[in-house]
Amino acid sequence: MDSVPANRRLWNRISNAYQDKHDPRIGATPRLWGMYSIPDARLRALGDVTGKRVLELGCGAGQWSRALAAEGAAVVGLDLSEAQLAAAARAMGQARHPLVQGAAERLPFAADSFDLVFCDFGGLSWAPPHLAVPEAVRVLARGGRLVFNVASPWFEVCYDEAAGRVTTTLQRDYFGLGTVAEGDGATSYQLTYGGWVKVLRGAGLVIDDLIEPRPEPGTPNGYNETDPPDWGHRWPAELLWVTRKP
């Protein structure tokens, strides 16, 4: 299944509303991970990027890319949606960096082009992982890292579609994970724990860490309603993979 055209249409359509809602938070402070905006200083997933060649896969309005460019990384922000890239271009400060339109499924870069490929609910959530992971590995240099944050299987199987919130009951089959319909043919992707390990190791990556970002009690989820409100403090809402190309 090729979800590229529908995902591009979706993100072009929702870009303005999405940025109006989320940019004031995720654009205000550098290096915030995920639905709970947990600082990387606490999770320590990315490390020092000074002088590194960095690709953000699905950069959106470039909140992460801008921050890393300002730290001295040579960043490329890639995204499928021209509306999202336009938002990134508008928000760029003095440390300008390239923005490229493309899909995580087939990256428009030569092999060995980057020292770090990363995303936060970007290309590894919106492209089939069995295509996007090998592509990320191809463009990474030896010793380079692929670091990415996605929703956890717990979060997906407890999401009540009708109520529009995450609950404490199982709503769908764990072994039925794979794709999540996002409307009008748009699709996001979700693997089981074993599925991720297979795809990552199958592409030749070493798994250095699997961080389970845990918000402090009372931290709001900026994207989804949860029942109870402190769901993310009690169960893992996200998986932050830290991997390396040996």
Q: Binding of ligand SAM at residue 129 (CB under 6 A)?
A: no
Picking from 59, 241, 43, 19, the residue whose alpha carbon sits closest to that of residue 151 is 241
Whose tokens are 């809602």? That residue is 21
Q: Binding of ligand SAM at residue 103 (CB under 6 A)?
A: yes
Q: Which is nearer to ligand SAM, 121 or 196 (CB)?
A: 121
Q: What is the largest CA-CA distance in the chain?
A: 48
- How many other β-carbons are positioned within 10 Å of the β-carbon of residue 194? 10
Q: Binding of ligand SAM at residue 122 (CB under 6 A)?
A: yes
Q: How would you label 83-102 residue by residue, b for 16+ Cβ within 10 Å and e otherwise?
A: bbbbbbeeebeeeebebeeb
When binding is defined by CB under 6 A, the residue of 27, 58, 144, 153 that contacts ligand SAM is: 58
Name residues contacting ligand SAM, limited to 7-46 (CB under 6 A): 7, 11, 22, 26
Q: Which is nearer to ligand SAM, 168 or 179 (CB)?
A: 179
- CB of 170 vs ligand SAM, minimal distance in Å: 25
Picking from 104, 28, 105, 112, the residue whose alpha carbon sits closest to that of residue 64 is 28
User: Which residues of this protein are in contact with ligand SAM, per CB under 6 A?
Assistant: 4, 7, 11, 22, 26, 57-58, 60, 64, 79-81, 84, 103-105, 120-123, 126-127
